[in-house]
C-alpha cells in the first residue's frame, strides 16, 4: 500500500470517530491554509498479536524507519517514533499491561484472547475492535485504572489523533493562535497541564482539542464515550533549516489526557 492511500484511509476512519477534526481541517483550508499532517499516533497493548513489536513491520513495510523510543512512566507506556522522508511522522505507543493490577490484566487478556489469527496488513491499523463488545462496567473499571486501557478496550485500533503542522501554516503562527481559532469554531481545548504543552527550548510545542464523544456498542447496549482528538504541533529548528523531529514525553504526557472521561 502506498503511504498516500494509507493516510487517506486512516483519515477517513479517524474522522468518523472525530468529526470535529474534519471540520477544523476544512475551516483551515477555507482560511487559505495548507493542512499538513505532522504525525499520527496509535495505541495498543504490549501483549498479544497487536503489540508494538508485532505492528512495527506494517510501518517498516510502508517505508518507515524507527527514529527513537520513549517511556511515559506515569501512564505506564512505551512508545516508538517512526520517520519516512516527505511523510507524516508516526508515533506508536503500547500499554505495559504487566504494570496494571491483576483484575485489569485478566480483563485485557480476555480481550486479547479473542483476536483471530490473521495477516497484519496496513488496514489493521484502522480495523477497530477485534474483540466482542466489552461490558460498559468493565470499560469503566479499566478506565479507572488506565484511561488508555479503557479507550483501547472500547475502540480497538484506530489513529488516536492526527496532528496539524503549525510550521506549514501561513497565518496562524503559534500554538495559542491555532487553539484560539479552534475555539472560535466552537470546539474545546485540552487544558490539562496548560493549553500549550512544551516550550520553545523543548523544540516541540503542542496543543490539542478534547476528544469527540461518540456512541459505542457495549454488552449492555450503546453508550457515549470519548473517542479521538486533533493535535497541533509547532517544531523548532535544531539547526538552520532543520526542524526537531522527536517527541517530548514530559509534554506529551498531558496530551494523552485528551481522551479522559472526567474533564
Consecutive H or E run containing 89: strand 89-95
**Cβ atoms 105, 98 nearer than 8 A:** yes
**Cβ atoms 175, 166 nearer than 8 A:** yes
Cell triple for residue 165? 503542522
Least distance (Å) between residue 40 CB and Ni ion = 8
Among 25, 41, 59, 153, binds Ni ion (CB under 5 A): 41
Least distance (Å) between residue 212 CB and Ni ion = 16
Neighbours of 84 (CB within 10 A): 16
Give the residue with the Cβ less far from Ni ion, 41 or 83. 41
Give the residue with the Cβ less far from Ni ion, 58 or 92. 92
SS3 call for 218: strand
Under the binding rule (CB under 5 A), the answer on residue 234 touching Ni ion is: no
Give the residue with the Cβ less far from Ni ion, 143 or 160. 160
Residues that bind Ni ion (rule: CB under 5 A) add up to a total of 2
Under the binding rule (CB under 5 A), the answer on residue 166 touching Ni ion is: no
Residue 202, judged by CB atoms within 10 A of its CB (0-12, 13-18, 19+), counts as: middle
Bridging pattern class, strands 77-83 and 204-208: unpaired
**Cβ atoms 43, 32 nearer than 8 A:** no
Pick the stretch among 11-19, 40-48, 61-69, 146-154 that binds Ni ion (CB under 5 A): 40-48
Binding mask 172-211 for Ni ion (x = CB under 5 A): ----------------------------------------
Q: What is the largest CA-CA distance in the chain?
A: 56
Give the residue with the Cβ less far from Ni ion, 45 or 91. 91
Binding residues vs Ni ion (CB under 5 A): 41, 231
Amino acid at each position: 500500500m502506498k503511504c498516500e492511500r494509507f493516510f487517506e484511509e486512516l483519515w477517513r476512519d479517524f474522522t468518523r470517530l472525530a468529526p470535529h477534526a474534519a471540520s477544523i481541517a476544512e475551516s483551515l483550508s477555507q482560511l487559505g491554509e495548507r493542512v499538513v499532517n505532522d504525525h499520527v499516533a496509535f495505541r495498543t497493548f504490549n501483549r498479544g498479536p497487536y503489540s508494538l513489536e508485532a505492528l512495527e513491520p506494517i510501518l517498516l513495510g510502508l517505508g518507515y524507519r524507527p527514529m527513537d523510543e520513549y517511556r511515559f512512566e506515569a501512564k505506564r507506556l512505551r512508545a516508538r517514533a517512526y520517520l519516512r522522508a516527505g511523510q507524516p511522522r508516526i508515533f506508536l505507543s503500547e500499554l505495559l499491561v504487566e504494570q496494571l493490577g491483576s483484575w485489569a490484566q485478566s480483563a485485557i487478556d480476555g480481550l486479547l484472547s479473542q483476536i483471530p489469527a490473521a495477516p497484519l496488513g496496513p488496514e489493521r491499523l484502522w480495523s477497530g475492535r477485534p474483540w466482542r463488545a466489552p461490558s460498559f462496567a468493565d470499560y469503566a473499571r479499566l478506565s479507572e485504572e488506565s484511561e488508555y486501557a479503557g479507550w483501547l478496550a472500547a475502540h480497538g485500533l484506530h489513529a488516536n489523533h492526527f496532528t496539524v503542522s503549525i510550521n506549514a501554516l501561513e497565518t496562524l503562527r503559534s500554538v495559542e493562535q491555532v487553539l484560539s481559532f479552534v475555539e472560535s469554531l466552537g470546539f474545546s481545548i485540552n487544558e490539562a497541564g496548560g493549553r500549550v504543552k512544551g516550550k520553545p527550548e523543548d523544540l516541540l510545542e503542542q496543543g490539542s482539542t478534547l476528544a469527540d464523544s461518540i456512541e459505542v456498542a457495549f454488552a449492555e447496549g450503546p453508550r457515549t464515550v470519548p473517542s479521538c482528538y486533533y493535535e497541533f504541533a509547532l517544531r523548532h529548528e535544531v539547526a538552520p533549516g532543520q526542524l526537531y523531529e522527536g517527541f517530548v514525553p514530559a509534554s506529551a504526557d498531558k496530551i494523552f489526557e485528551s481522551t479522559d472521561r472526567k474533564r
